[in-house]
Structure 1
Amino acid sequence: MVSPSGTPVAGPSIRTSTGSASRSITHHQNNQTQKLPDTNIENSSKSSHHDTPPSGPRKPFNRSWRFWAIILSLSIMALCGTVEATIIINALPTIVADLGGGSAYLWIPNAFLLASVAVLPLYSQLSDIFGRRYLLLGAVSLFILGSGLCGAASSMGMLIAARAVAGLGSGGIEMLVETVVTDLVPLRERSKYESLVLTGSLVGCTIGPFLGGVIVVKLGWRWIFYLNVILGGASLLMLFVFLKVKHRRNQTLISRLKRIDIGGNAIFIGSVVAVLLALTWGGPVYRWDSFRIVLPLVLGLLGLFVFTAFEWTPKLAPEPSFPRALLSNRTSAAALMQSFILSILTFCFLPVYFQGILGKSPLGSGIAIVPISACVVPFCIVGGVALSKFGRYKPIHFISWAILIVGLGLCSLLDRNSSTAAWACFEIVCSAGIGLVTPTLLPAVQAPLEERYVATSTGLWSVTRGFGSIWGVTIPSVIFTNEVRRYSDSINDVSIAERLANGQAYELATKAFLDSIADETVRDQVISVFTRAIKTVWYVGIAVAGLGLLVVFVQREVKLRQEMPETEFGMDDGRPASRTAATDEIPLEDLTARRYE
Structure 2
Amino acid sequence: MATAEARQMEEKAKLAENGESAETLSLPNAASSKDTEAQSPPIVEQAQLYSTGRLIIVIFSLALCVLLSALDVTIVSTALPSIVSDLHGFDRLSWVGISYLLTSTALQPVYGKVSDIFGRRPVLFFCIATFLLGSTLCGVSQSMDMLIASRALQGVGGGGLISLIMIIISEIVSMKERGKYQGMIGASWGLASVVGPLLGGVFTDKTSWRWAFFVNLPVGAIASCFIFVFLKLPQPKDNFRDKITRIDFAGIASIVMGSVFLLLGLEWGGNQYPWSSPLVISFLVVGVLMYGIFVYVELKVAKEPIIPMSMFRRRNFWAAMIFCFVSGFILLGCSYFLPLWFQYIRGTSATASGLSILPFMLGTVIFSVVSGILVTKTGQYVPFIRFGAVLLVVAASLIATWDLPTANWVEIVEMLVLGIGMGCALQTVLIAIQAAVPPEFIAPSTAAMVFARSMGGVFALAMFGTILNNVAINEITSALGPDTPYTGSQQSVSTLDNAPANVRAVVIQAYRDGIHYVWVGLAPLLGIGLIATLALQHIPLRTKIDISLENEKEGKRGTVAKGRGDEEVAVAEKEKEKMEGSADTLESH
* Shorter-normalised TM range: 0.7 to 0.9
Match of 2:212 in 1: 224
- Given the alignment of the two structures, is residue 448 of structure 1 paired with residue 416 of structure 2, yes or no? no
Match of 1:20 in 2: none
Percent identity of the aligned residues?
30
- Given the alignment of the two structures, is residue 321 of structure 1 paired with residue 306 of structure 2, yes or no? yes
> How many correspondences in the alignment?
534
SS in 1 for 2:543: coil
The answer on whether the counterparts of 1:121 and 1:456 sit within 8 Å (CA) in structure 2 is: yes
Match of 2:23 in 1: 54
Q: How many angstroms apart in 2 are the aligned matches of 1:245 and 1:540? A: 45
2:494 to 493, 501, 512: 512
Match of 2:186 in 1: 198
- Given the alignment of the two structures, is residue 103 of structure 1 paired with residue 88 of structure 2, yes or no? no
The answer on whether the counterparts of 2:23 and 2:561 sit within 8 Å (CA) in structure 1 is: no
Q: How many angstroms apart in 2 are the aligned matches of 1:132 and 1:301? A: 31
Task: Give the C-alpha shift of residue 273 in structure 1.
Answer: 0.7
Task: Give the C-alpha shift of residue 100 in structure 1.
Answer: 1.3
1:432 to 420, 425, 431: 420
2:158 to 170, 173, 183: 170
Counterparts of 1:30-41 in structure 2, within 5 Å, are none
Which string of whole-angstrom CA distances, capped at 9 and with x for unpartnered residues, describes residues 48-100 of structure 1? 9x996735653322241222221111011111111111100011110001111
Label 1:266 to 1:585 Cα distance change in 2 as closer, same or farther (>3 A): farther
Q: How many angstroms apart in 2 are the aligned matches of 1:261 and 1:584? A: 20
Residue 514 of structure 1 aligns with an amino acid whose one-letter code is: L
Match of 2:276 in 1: 289
Label 1:509 to 1:438 Cα distance change in 2 as closer, same or farther (>3 A): farther
Task: Give the C-alpha shift of residue 533 in structure 1.
Answer: 2.3
Counterparts of 1:262-411 in structure 2, within 5 Å, are 262-313=249-300, 316-346=301-331, 347-348=333-334, 349-411=337-399
SS in 2 for 1:413: coil
Q: How many angstroms apart in 2 are the aligned matches of 1:339 and 1:100? A: 39
Q: How many angstroms apart in 1 are the aligned matches of 2:412 and 2:184? A: 24
Q: How many angstroms apart in 2 are the aligned matches of 1:402 and 1:587? A: 44
- Given the alignment of the two structures, is residue 568 of structure 1 paired with residue 545 of structure 2, yes or no? no
Task: Give the C-alpha shift of residue 429 in structure 1.
Answer: 0.8
Q: How many angstroms apart in 2 are the aligned matches of 1:306 and 1:162? A: 30
Residue 337 of structure 1 aligns with an amino acid whose one-letter code is: I
Structure 1, gaps ≥5 residues long? 1-31, 37-46, 570-576
Which string of whole-angstrom CA distances, capped at 9 and with x for unpartnered residues, describes residues 210-251 of structure 1? 1101111111011111100111111111111111111222x2
The answer on whether the counterparts of 1:53 and 1:559 sit within 8 Å (CA) in structure 2 is: no
Q: How many angstroms apart in 2 are the aligned matches of 1:324 and 1:593? A: 16
Report the TM-score when normalising by structure 2.
0.85
Task: Give the C-alpha shift of residue 508 in structure 1.
Answer: 5.0
Residue 86 of structure 1 aligns with an amino acid whose one-letter code is: T
Label 1:212 to 1:485 Cα distance change in 2 as closer, same or farther (>3 A): closer
The answer on whether the counterparts of 1:53 and 1:560 sit within 8 Å (CA) in structure 2 is: no
Task: Give the C-alpha shift of residue 466 in structure 1.
Answer: 1.3
Q: How many angstroms apart in 1 are the aligned matches of 2:112 and 2:69? A: 18
Counterparts of 1:116-155 in structure 2, within 5 Å, are 116-155=104-143
The answer on whether the counterparts of 2:540 and 2:564 sit within 8 Å (CA) in structure 1 is: no
Counterparts of 1:240-259 in structure 2, within 5 Å, are 240-249=228-237, 251-259=238-246
Task: Give the C-alpha shift of residue 482 in structure 1.
Answer: 3.3
The CA RMSD over aligned residues, in Å, is 2.7
Residue 239 of structure 2 aligns with an amino acid whose one-letter code is: T
Task: Give the C-alpha shift of residue 527 in structure 1.
Answer: 1.5
Task: Give the C-alpha shift of residue 435 in structure 1.
Answer: 0.5
- Given the alignment of the two structures, is residue 537 of structure 1 paired with residue 518 of structure 2, yes or no? yes
The answer on whether the counterparts of 2:363 and 2:417 sit within 8 Å (CA) in structure 1 is: no
Residue 163 of structure 1 aligns with an amino acid whose one-letter code is: R
Label 1:585 to 1:468 Cα distance change in 2 as closer, same or farther (>3 A): farther
Label 1:585 to 1:296 Cα distance change in 2 as closer, same or farther (>3 A): farther
Which string of whole-angstrom CA distances, capped at 9 and with x for unpartnered residues, describes residues 494-551 of structure 1? 4339x74xxx5xx3585224235x3211221221222222212111111111111111
Which string of whole-angstrom CA distances, capped at 9 and with x for unpartnered residues, describes residues 343-396 of structure 1? 112222212211222222212211211221122111101111122222222211
Q: How many angstroms apart in 1 are the aligned matches of 2:273 and 2:555? A: 48
Which structure dedicates a bigger proportion of its chain to helix?
2
Label 1:412 to 1:587 Cα distance change in 2 as closer, same or farther (>3 A): farther
SS in 2 for 1:144: helix
**Which structure carries more relative contact order (alpha carbon 8 Å, separation 6+)?**
2
Which string of whole-angstrom CA distances, capped at 9 and with x for unpartnered residues, describes residues 102-136 of structure 1? 32121111111111111123211211111111111
Q: How many angstroms apart in 2 are the aligned matches of 1:204 and 1:178? A: 17
Residue 363 of structure 1 aligns with an amino acid whose one-letter code is: T
Match of 1:22 in 2: none
Residue 418 of structure 2 aligns with an amino acid whose one-letter code is: C
SS in 2 for 1:119: helix
Task: Give the C-alpha shift of residue 587 in structure 1.
Answer: 7.7
Q: How many angstroms apart in 1 are the aligned matches of 2:160 and 2:519? A: 33
Label 1:218 to 1:587 Cα distance change in 2 as closer, same or farther (>3 A): farther
